[in-house]
């Protein structure tokens, strides 16, 4: 052993890098779209350059005001939201937000949502034609806009959309799936067949809140998306089922709040994770998770994240 070599099992020796198709990330801890603003809001709390990647709020072709209030409701171990993709549109995003994000020395994965396949393809091409992004995430799973999930529930539409976006854009393509389907495996296979570099899952679980005294729904949009620790078992199940169905690298999302949660998703088959709702109530969580991750990996006798991905043992003994 040379003077600088680290002993096996040492957290400092753990390789955190992950490869998702054509996308290389310095570590597997990313922050989820819609829960981290455009990162400016978080820069005084989080060392952005340490993150494995940042997913800014989904952008649409035209600016959108979003849904009428209320847009969020706290629920046991989670929250419901129906923001409705409130954003300034892709032209403003590329001109004003992407230059700042790109200067943070962290991979920026631009989340886009189109009203049609043409809009998805056009936006993927626009992001690819602009300097600054590392990849594009196709938000084919937003439950809070009309037609927001069509591409995420229909395997044929999903496959074609991913393939068309891939053909139109030089950057790696990630498909973000909704859990609100009968078979997550079928949609994951479709995203794989379309050539997705990675599949991220899950977006929010459809839910609702009611003010019975007024006999009214609480959310302006009536139906919303449930997120936070309440949905972690659903997300873990989805990652597990997708991992059984495809070879495409997976990014686990849903209720992740601690390093133990991160490890559960990696063991289930995720190569990386995105932290979402937890950023609202523990904004520095990504830093503490990153601090603890090497020791968690090393405790399994592994020297890299990759070694642990999908290491779940199903046989009882």
Closest to 135 measured CA to CA, from 84, 86, 198: 198
Q: Counting contacts by CB under 6 A, is residue 161 touching ligand FMN?
A: no
Length of the chain equals 317
H or E stretch covering 206: strand 205-208
Both tokens assigned to 182: 């009968």
Buried b (16+ CB within 10 A) or exposed e, 180-214: bbeebbebbbbbbbbbbbbbbbbbbbbbebeeeee
Q: Which of 106, 203, 241, 248 binds ligand FMN (CB under 6 A)?
A: 203
- Alpha-carbon distance 200 to 190, whole Å? 13
Q: Which stretch binds ligand FMN (CB under 6 A): 6-14, 30-38, 90-98, 207-215?
A: 30-38
Is 139 annotated in a binding site? The answer is: yes
How far apart CA 205 and CA 149 sit, in angstroms, is 12
Q: How many residues bind ligand FMN (CB under 6 A)?
A: 25
Single out the residue of 231, 251, 268, 290 in contact with ligand FMN (rule: CB under 6 A): 231
Q: Which is nearer to ligand FMN, 14 or 197 (CB)?
A: 197
Task: Find, among 178, 193, 197, the residue nearest to 238 by Cα.
Answer: 178
User: How far is the C-alpha of 98 from the C-alpha of 89, rounded, in Å?
Assistant: 12
> Alpha helices, DSSP H only, in the chain?
90-92, 98-102, 117-129, 150-153, 155-168, 184-193, 232-245, 259-268, 278-281, 285-299, 305-308
Residue of 142, 165, 169, 238 marked catalytic = 142
Restricted to residues 40-59, the positions that interact with ligand FMN (CB under 6 A) are 57-58
Q: Determine if 255 is a binding residue for ligand FMN (CB under 6 A).
A: yes
Report the nearest approach of ligand FMN to the CB of residue 193 (Å): 22
142 assigned to active site = yes
Point out which span in 13-21, 77-85, 160-168, 308-316 binds ligand FMN (CB under 6 A).
77-85
Q: Which is nearer to ligand FMN, 156 or 281 (CB)?
A: 281
Interaction between residue 84 and ligand FMN (CB under 6 A):
no
Interface with ligand FMN (CB under 6 A): 32-35, 57-58, 79, 81, 83, 85, 111, 139, 142, 176, 203-204, 227-228, 231, 253-256, 276-277
Binding-site members are 33, 57-58, 81-85, 139, 176, 202-204, 228, 254-255, 276-277
Binding-site members for FMN are 33, 57-58, 139, 176, 202, 228, 254-255, 276-277
Active site residues: 142
């Amino acid at each position: 052993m040379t003077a600088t070599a680290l002993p096996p099992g040492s957290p400092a020796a753990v390789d955190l890098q992950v490869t998702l198709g054509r996308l290389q990330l310095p570590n597997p801890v990313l922050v989820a779209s819609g829960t981290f603003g455009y990162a400016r809001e978080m820069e005084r709390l989080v060392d952005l350059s340490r993150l494995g990647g940042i997913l800014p709020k989904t952008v649409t072709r035209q600016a959108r005001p979003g849904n009428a209030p209320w847009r969020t409701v706290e629920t046991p171990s989670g929250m419901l939201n129906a923001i409705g993709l409130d954003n300034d549109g892709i032209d403003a995003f590329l001109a004003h937000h992407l230059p700042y994000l790109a200067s943070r020395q962290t991979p920026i994965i631009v989340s886009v949502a189109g009203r049609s396949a043409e809009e998805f393809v056009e936006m993927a091409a626009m992001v690819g034609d602009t300097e600054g992004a590392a990849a594009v995430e196709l938000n084919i799973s937003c439950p809070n806009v009309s037609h927001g999930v069509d591409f995420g529930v229909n395997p044929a539409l999903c496959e074609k959309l991913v393939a068309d976006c891939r053909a139109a854009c030089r950057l790696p393509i990630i498909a973000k799936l909704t859990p609100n389907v009968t078979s997550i495996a079928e949609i994951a296979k479709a995203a794989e067949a379309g050539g997705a570099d990675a599949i991220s899952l899950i977006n929010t679980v459809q839910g609702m809140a009611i003010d019975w005294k007024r006999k009214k729904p609480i959310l302006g949009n009536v139906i919303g998306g449930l997120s936070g620790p309440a949905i972690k078992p659903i997300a873990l199940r989805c990652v597990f089922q997708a991992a059984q169905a495809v070879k495409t690298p997976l990014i686990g999302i849903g209720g992740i709040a601690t390093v133990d949660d991160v490890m559960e998703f990696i063991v289930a088959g995720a190569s990386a994770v995105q932290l979402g709702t937890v950023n609202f109530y523990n904004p520095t969580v990504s830093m503490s998770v990153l601090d603890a991750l090497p020791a968690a990996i090393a405790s399994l006798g592994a020297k890299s994240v990759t070694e642990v991905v999908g290491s779940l043992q199903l046989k009882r003994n």
